[in-house]
Amino acid sequence: MRWGFLGTDGSWAIEPSFEAVGPFSEGLAAAKEGAWGYIDRERATVVPFELAYAAAFHRGMANAAKPNAVGSFIDRSGRALPYDERIGLPAHPELIGVTGYREKWDGIRSAKRSGVLAADSLEERLPVRFAKVTDLGPAFLAAIDDTHDPKTVLFDADVQPVAELPIQWTSAYGCGAYLVFDVFEPGRRSSELAAYDADTFERVATYEDSRHMHMGYDPESDTYSLLRQRQRRRLDDALQPTDEVLPTVFESFRVTPVKSGKRTRIEIDGEPIGVEVDKTHRAGAEDATTIWAMVKTGKAKRWGLLGVDGWIVEPEHELFEREGPYWRVGALGSEGLVDADGRWLLEPVHTRVRHCGEHGHAFYEGGKAFKNGNLKGGAWRVTRPDGSPLCQQTFADVGEWREDRLAAALD
């Protein structure tokens, strides 16, 4: 199999001649010819093919190195970055994004130690000495300091310390008025969910044994739910159990699943719309105009897409999964791609469909799909965003559109 890159006109921008490729990033793409190197958009070799591994460039650096090299970052010329140019990170660090701070901060981690960099200047704002750093929404960062007595330090959006909590945690969540931690103690088999007031930082609730607890937050209504089996607890309702299913508030209307016997009735602004979903499965918010839901007829479970006026996509599909901004819909071996308005970009007649990025999609035809995810006996075709054919060429595999280039392979 040989890999190259398609252009948006459907012709080869870079002929398929590589063993493997990575996506374009900052004008360069990793490619493999025996060893890894980097090429530019014209296929010129920028970094020689002598690397053991090569990741995408990010802020002028890439996680890449020659075999047995001590360092693991290079610049755009292929030069290994010395210690001080890598912001003092230890050898073999891993750059990670801190969710919610991608534009302002970058998380950094190395050998179980974490910290925070300023995204624009790469200035170190939190040193790489914390056991774990995560964001709690737009207002806070939480960092576990385990150097002496283990504790959690809370930092504001400017990475200034604002509070200390005498806990360690495996996961942490921010939900408007509350900060929620899955707290553990060394030697304990179970953990507990602890909710803290986001203004006073006082603990306001504790839920024992959180191993089977699930969490959900609706930013539109600023409500946060803790779900365990069939019971739902609300942090914003005196922290008491309730049998009601929480409403989901959108910009223009309110969708409320209401329990009705063994089913859940869907109401829009308090008015039933004649739709019921199986209460043992899911009905959830999608965006400001739609929700997705599963219905159950006998033993059969079928998915659909629900809007303010009823079903946008009828509940008759075994498969209903997110695929970028669209939905991959259908069943094993008969998939399609549909948007939130119910418009089919790819009809549900294909073996497999894939959203490749803003410039188009791909579908697999003429073969079979197996439950382990393998495909056999067919080929990929590439389409434009509206689903029309991009070219007549078929491909052994396709990647994603990056910087007007689609990674594609021929047998």
The number of helices, as runs of H, and strands, as runs of E, in the chain is: 0, 44
pLDDT digits (tens, 9 = 90+) for 244-293: 333 333 333 344 545 555 556 666 556 666 666 654 334 444 444 555 56
Nearest to 58 by CA among 27, 34, 36: 27
- Please classify residue 184 by burial: count the beta carbons closer than 10 Å to its beta carbon, then call 0-12 exposed, 13-18 middle and 19+ buried: middle
pLDDT at 322: 79
pLDDT at 261: 56
pLDDT at 70: 62
pLDDT at 6: 96
- Between the alpha carbon of residue 270 and those of residues 129, 217, 305, 308, the distances in Å are 52, 21, 19, 12
Can you give the pTM of this predicted structure? 0.60
pLDDT at 345: 95
Residues constituting the chain: 411
- For residues 253 and 288, what is the distance between their CA atoms, to the nearest angstrom? 8
Domain positions in the chain are: 20-86
Strand, coil or helix: what is 36? strand
- For residues 174 and 349, what is the distance between their CA atoms, to the nearest angstrom? 42
Low-confidence ranges of the chain (pLDDT < 70): 70-71, 82-112, 119-122, 175-177, 186-190, 207-299, 307-309, 371-372
pLDDT at 157: 78
